Structure 1
Amino acid sequence: MLRSVTSRSFSNVLTLTRRCGTGNSTGTRPHLITTPIFYVNAAPHIGHVYSALQADVQHRYSALCGERSRFSTGTDEHGMKVQQAAFSLGLDPKEFCSSVSLKYQTMFNALDISYTDFVRTTESRHIEAVNRFWMILEERGYIYKGTYEGWYCTSDEAFLSEGQTAERCNSEGKKIRVSLESGHQVHWVSEENYMFRLSSLRPDLLQWLQTDPIHPSVFHRVVSHWLEEELPDLSVSRQRSCLTWGIPVPSDSSHVIYVWLDALVNYLTAAGYPDPNLAPWGPATHLLGKDILRFHAIYWPAFLIAAGLPPPQKLLVHSHWTCGGTKMSKSLKNVVDPAECIRRYTKDGLRYFLLRHGAAERDCDFTHNTVCTLLNSELADALGGLLNRCTASNINPMQHFPHYHHESVPTTTHDQLHSLLKNLQKLPAEVDHWIRKFQVNKALESIDANIRRSNSFFQSQAPWKLQKGVEKEACWKDSVLYLTLESLRLYATLLLPAVPELATVALDRLGVPPNKRTLKGNSFFAATRGESCSFQGQIFGPDRGLLFPRLERSKKNTVRI
């Protein structure tokens, strides 16, 4: 018998989320931040890296603010595509999965992705979680045996309604039916499967959607449009005669569990499910690409609500990367290789470009010249140049933070200084706003705009021209250096989530101690407010050369495999 999820019981489920807290206080469970688990039918590409980087920024930023979070990623290792890929290489599926999963771990480690858990769907802990989750859905009456007739896309491992498909001509001019969302070919399937009562959960999904969980808003509108129509029940198993590489249905070994139900439960695996001591699981933020929005915004919250668990707190959705304006494809030989990009641009160079140039709400283009132009302008020239100038021995022979002198400010500079400080003092709040709104590119844009203001201020005051023998000019020179160095300390601190190694090099150069590399309880520009400032007189760390080397532009416009 179906145990219905009424509006009242759904409200209770949402209450569980609120009780878990946001991860900001010591007494609550850490906030869980996740990427999708990545399908192991191929090596990692730039889109996988982008998802991981966005989640990494959210996780690192939480730590920077003194908040508690965990960060889970992993690999999705079951399903028809994996079975076919392993067979084509003459490999055992588990052996094939292990080799590709290792590539993801190696790539993420190379990019300083600070995950705290890596879930593989072939792990025993995950299989235990999936089995338990299936049995709860079954016990609560949400799974029944029925006949599925409809379209199935092997490439997407997705069951599709008639309205989600259309006829198209392939490269040979032959008419085929394809998925409207992915463009991949679909095939008609008719088989006895286990079904999930998705149709009964539409009211609950609409209520969850009212909590504004999906960002940016353009994707929230997409899901609202999907939910305007009735939802058919979902097939959640495949017959073992069709697919052997999967987790068997606990009560019927002739069926394997649908790969997406299996995969989505990884988020529960990362939370410690089914350990009763860890229930209810804490609030979750899922990072994902727009191509898997339906699975995360329809199926996943429905599965959770049906099991009596809180739905996701946030879905942060991003668009895709193109190359030269064209969708990346192996056949077109325009797939961007992250490993080659790391060699060419450094890991922080690649991190910065993807986070700064990418925008969640629209597809973004990757070209070599765009990368070089942006990194040279913002990291090498604006940020690196400013650091080099104000730590140069001819301008700052003591190699320290000079004292700030209120009385030394020239009358003609009051307005310019006031404008500079006003922008700098509101910068942390701006960055916080954009990162929490899942617009890291705009956070980095705000930082870059202020770096340029600091450069303009430094250039206009020309401290190298101020005379040592004239007391007021010498004091103003010290003040200009203090302001510029303190602004660099702020910029480097705010950049830690995006470019951790480069920001650490800058903070090391400035001699900033580890306990001051935080936003929690950290004060900036204290001396300008007449407060005591521990950084006045602070000695710099060792000079490690250029913060970021300039890159050479190339006639080749793309980085290809």
Structure 2
Amino acid sequence: MRIVNKLLSRFNPVSHYFISTPIFYVNADPHIGHVHSLVVADALHHIAKLKGAEKTIFSTGTDEHGLKIQRAAKSQGFHPQEFCDNISKRFSTLCSAFEIGNTHFIRTTDASHINAVSNFWTELCTKGFIYKSKYAGWYSVSDETFLPSTQIEEKIIDDKLVKVSIESGHVLEWVEEENYMFRLSELQEPLLKLFKSGKITIKPDVFHQLVLSLIDQGLHDISVSRPSSRLSWGIPLPSDSSHRIYVWLDALVNYLTVAGYPNLSKFWPPDCHVIGKDIIKFHAIYWPAFLLAADLEVPKQIICHSHWTVDGVKMSKSRQNIVNPFDLLQTYSPEAIRYFLLRQAVPHDDGNFSESQMQYFLNLDLSDTLGNLLSRCCAPKINFKQIYPAAPSTQVLAQFPADELIESLFPLGLKVDKLFSEAQFHDGIDQVLASLRLANKLVNDTKPWELVKNPALEEYLHGVLYITFETLRICGILMQPVIPKMATKLLDRLAVPINQRYWSDAIPCLPPSNSSTERSLCDKVDSFLFPRIR
């Protein structure tokens, strides 16, 4: 009972919830990493609604300004706006194709966003955090940022000695110009206080510690504008059209735009930003600093995930091994790809994308472990009445070799909630699969296909079916964020009422504290969840 009460206490309904992915840069077509960010955020969005969130924002979109876009458009013979329109549409289509439930798709070329950025810039100036100064340094066009000497190394590329970013490997250019600067150095201590107090948390914790280390090393003022003579494709400064606003300041304001800035809605501050580890500095240092400077609340949580390799090799254009998600959809369903990404990815380390591994886990987990359990217990030869039996008595329950299974079910919701809420989906899924395997073992050990032959053992048979269905019901509820359609079909087949599929319903209904009455399975839904991939 203590576990149940603790579980319920974690599920206090929230009225509003705001989650985001980063907005994706339109210098190239979508790849599998973009899908990963989307499905992580979509799963967390599902969880919020399963916990009772009545109104939500789930935002994604495209980042369309900057020197890299300007050069890419020119090289392909497009006006920057036309270039951005074409790529942005691909990302919007990606969301639809993978059945992502975003409520907003924002573009940084939207008039509402340009207005928000201009207002935000003016506020930073009014607060005294912007000044003009000459600036010189090594600049990465690909990363849209200046880099300090500690983040630079020399390499020989095409027989030339060049400076490159240690983190991204991109070639740097030396730039000397007059820019507007942001007083980041003044916010070092307030930022440290934010992270040390837990006002902002970053998960996994390894990234939280990384950010603390970066701040401890010392923060310097950063350039937040570019001369229009060098960058024409950007938002002009409200008070100086000879400069364009730094693309990262522009991009980060998208979260404010979605919330209605300058007239912020009750959704602010964001509950969670989902990002890739390559942009952690911008989201965990620059973004909170900009918000502090403007006297605005900071986001509550940042979920940071790592990248994907392909068969153990880093994805890159030169290796021609970038995984095109649209190509994958020719062979696999959106939900199958979603499952593999969430099951395989470890947030603190790069994941390996392998189609052979994907096929293996889809067959093992969804077809054999989950699907086979449902189909066996719904088979007319075993369950000829097609019922979800009433809960067995304590006397019947005591006869089952199911102690380990039952013990796994009571804390399962609590364990999965903690893991999923920190985007540790791989571990949460493992917990669910462990209970499903125990349920399969129960079926194998008790042999209901033999029990059904003896009418005197009907009560025992129904007890086995009940425990198995309870396992499927609880696991189905908990897997809704991971495999929404399959979980819905599973719960429909078990005739679980719609209003009993919330996160707080993932608790075993067993005597003596709980009981249930017999009900019919839904005969309008079949028991076939996932076809094996041959």
TM-score range, shorter chain: over 0.9
- 1:9-408 → structure 2 map (5 Å cutoff): 30-68=16-54, 69-170=56-157, 172-212=158-198, 213-275=201-263, 278=265, 281-406=268-393
Q: TM-score, normalised by structure 2?
A: 0.94
Is the deviation greater in 257-266 or in 225-234? Answer: 225-234
Equivalent position of 1:548 in the other structure: 530
The yes-or-no answer on 1:466 pairing with 2:448 is: no
* Secondary structure at the counterpart of residue 241 of structure 2: strand
- The CA deviation at 1:502 is 1.3
Q: For 1:232-282, what per-residue CA distance to the aligned partner results, in whole angstroms no more than 9, with x for missing partners?
A: 211000011101110000000111000000000001111111115x37823
Residue 511 (structure 1) shift: 2.2
Superposed, 1:372-521 pairs within 5 Å as: 372-406=359-393, 409=396, 413=400, 416-471=401-456, 473-520=457-504
Distance in 2 between residues matched to 1:469 and 1:280, nearest whole Å: 60
Q: Tell me which amino acid in the other structure corresponds to 2:361.
A: L
Given the two structures, how large is their TM-score scaled by the length of structure 1? 0.90
Residue 525 of structure 1, aligned match among 508, 514, 520:
508
What amino acid maps onto 1:387 in structure 2? L
Over the matched positions of the two proteins, sequence identity in percent amounts to 44
Q: Which amino acid is the alignment partner of residue 479 of structure 1?
A: G
d(CA) in 2 for partners of 1:157 and 1:241? 16
Amino acid at match of 1:547: L
Q: State how far apart, in whole Å, the 2-side matches of 1:280 and 1:539 are.
A: 40
Q: What is the distance in 2 between the residues matched to 1:407 and 1:220?
A: 48
Greater CA drift, 462-471 or 479-488: 462-471
Query: Equivalents in 2 of 1:491, 1:523: separation in Å?
Result: 8
Instruction: Tell me how far apart the structure 2 counterparts of residues 307 and 410 of structure 1 sit (CA, whole Å).
Output: 61
- For residue 454 of structure 1, give the secondary structure of its aligned residue in structure 2: helix
Displacement of 1:345: 2.3
Per the TM alignment, residue 174 of structure 1 is displaced from its structure 2 partner at its CA by 2.0
Q: Is the 8 A contact 1:408 1:475 kept in 2?
A: no
What is the letter of the counterpart of residue 294 of structure 1? K
Tell me which amino acid in the other structure corresponds to 2:30. Answer: P
Change (3 A) 1:162 1:525: closer
| CA gap 1:127/1:279 in 2 versus in 1, 3 angstroms | farther
Verify the 8 A CA contact 2:11 2:51 in the aligned structure 1: no
2:392 partner letter? H
Unaligned segments of structure 2, at least 5 residues: 1-9
- Distance across 1 between alignment mates of 2:279 and 2:418: 26
Contact kept, 8 Å, 2:377 with 2:383, in 1: the verdict is yes
User: Residue 52 of structure 2: SS of its match in structure 1?
Assistant: coil
Look up the SS of the partner of 2:94 in the other structure: helix
Equivalent position SS for 1:393: coil
Secondary structure at 1:483 match in 2? helix
In structure 2, C-alpha distance between the alignment counterparts of 1:466 and 1:359, rounded to whole Å: 43
CA spacing shift, 1:348–1:529, aligned 2, 3 Å: farther
* Distance apart, 1:543 and its partner CA: 4.0
State the AA in 2 paired with 1:379: L
Answer with 61-70 or 121-130: which moved more. 61-70
2-side partners of 1:252 and 1:23: how far apart? Answer: 50
For the residue of structure 1 that corresponds to 2:495, the secondary structure is coil
- Is the CA contact (8 Å cut-off) linking 1:280 and 1:309 kept in structure 2? no
User: Cα distance 1:506–1:226, how it changes in 2: closer, same or farther (>3 A)?
Assistant: same
User: In structure 2, the residue corresponding to 1:210 is in which secondary structure?
Assistant: helix
* Matching residue's letter, 1:47: G
Equivalent-residue separation in structure 1 for 2:244 and 2:11 (angstroms): 36
Aligned equivalents of 1:136, 1:36: Cα separation in 2: 23
Contact 1:273 1:279 in 2 (8 A): no
Structure 2 Cα separation of the partners of residues 454 and 509 of structure 1? 18
Q: Please tell me whether the aligned partners of residues 225 and 246 of structure 2 are also in contact (alpha carbons under 8 angstroms).
A: yes
Give how far 1:101 is off.
1.1
- Partner SS state of residue 387, structure 2: coil
Q: Secondary structure at the match of 1:54?
A: helix
1:123 Cα offset (Å): 0.6
Give the secondary-structure state (helix, strand or coil) at the position aligned to 1:486. helix
Label 1:232 to 1:394 Cα distance change in 2 as closer, same or farther (>3 A). same
Give 1:162 deviation, angstroms: 1.4
Amino acid at match of 2:415: E
Cα displacement (A) at 1:90: 1.7
In the alignment, is the contact (CA less than 8 A) between 1:64 and 1:518 conserved in 2?
yes
Root-mean-square deviation over aligned CA pairs:
1.9
Q: Which runs of 5+ in 1 are unaligned?
A: 1-21, 553-561
Once residues 392 and 37 of structure 1 are traced to their aligned partners in structure 2, the CA distance between those partners, rounded to angstroms, is: 47
Query: Post-superposition shift, 1:31?
Result: 2.6
Letter in 2 for 1:205: L
Q: CA deviation at 1:224?
A: 1.7
Give the aligned length: 522
CA distance in 2, matches of 1:23, 1:512: 20
Deviation at 1:378, TM superposition (A): 0.4
Deviation of the 1:408 alpha carbon: 5.8
1:23–1:31 Cα contact (<8 Å) kept: no
